[in-house]
Amino acid sequence: MVAIIDYDAGNTCSVMNALRRLDADFMLTNDKESILSADKVLFPGVGHATQAMNALKSKGLDEVITAVKNPLLGICIGMQLMCDFSVEGNTRCLGIVDAIVQKFVPLNHDEFQKVPHMGWNGIVHSGDALFTDVAESSYVYYVHSYFVESNECTIAETDYNHPYAAAIKKDNFYGVQFHAEKSGKVGEQILQNFLNL
């Protein structure tokens, strides 16, 4: 069973639709025991870091997430909130990964490097099991103005203005900056790989 953490994240419905396409059994829940006993946990997210952290704290989910022992996948801001700190609202995050979430600085001379980073971009990955059968430089879908700096937990990178962490892994915690649930066949493969862990 897959538990999708319910804290009013904006991309929850698209994540559920992606799991339906994969015929995965899932539940949308903010119940501590259901999350901790799930085989896999998905931590979605769209929005502002401070508001998202406040929503997690109001439900006691900040402590639940850090206590998860089975594989957990953070998506978009879900990945960002796994870090120590976000400059968005100067927000103290969950502290699972030792990294800081920074804001993109637009390059005014290049119309293709606008902020937010929105659209399809390629990933270069380390060959981690999360990327089984995913070709190098495959394209995935992004919508974000903030990014996680590349760090020792980085397992995939994307270059937009500069290289940054497209995916991270620490112990049982995984994160992807892109929207796997909106990334077509490549995204479905990555989600299936997560379910297979």
Catalytic residue among 117, 144, 153, 181: 181
Q: Which of 111, 152, 179, 188 is catalytic?
A: 179
Q: Does the annotation count 153 as an active-site position?
A: no
| Selected catalytic residue, list 33, 48, 76, 111 | 76
Is 152 catalytic? The answer is: no
With helix as H, strand as E and coil as C, how does the chain read?
A: CEEEECCCCCCHHHHHHHHHHCCCCEEEECCHHHHHHCCEEEECCCCCHHHHHHHHHHCCHHHHHHHCCCCEEEECHHHHCCEEEECCCCEECCCCEEEEEEECCCCCCCHHHCCCEEEEEECEECCCHHHCCCCCCCEEEEEECEEECCCCCEEEEEEECEEEEEEEEECCEEEECCCHHHCHHHHHHHHHHHHHC
**Catalytic site includes residue 117:** no
Active site residues: 76, 179, 181
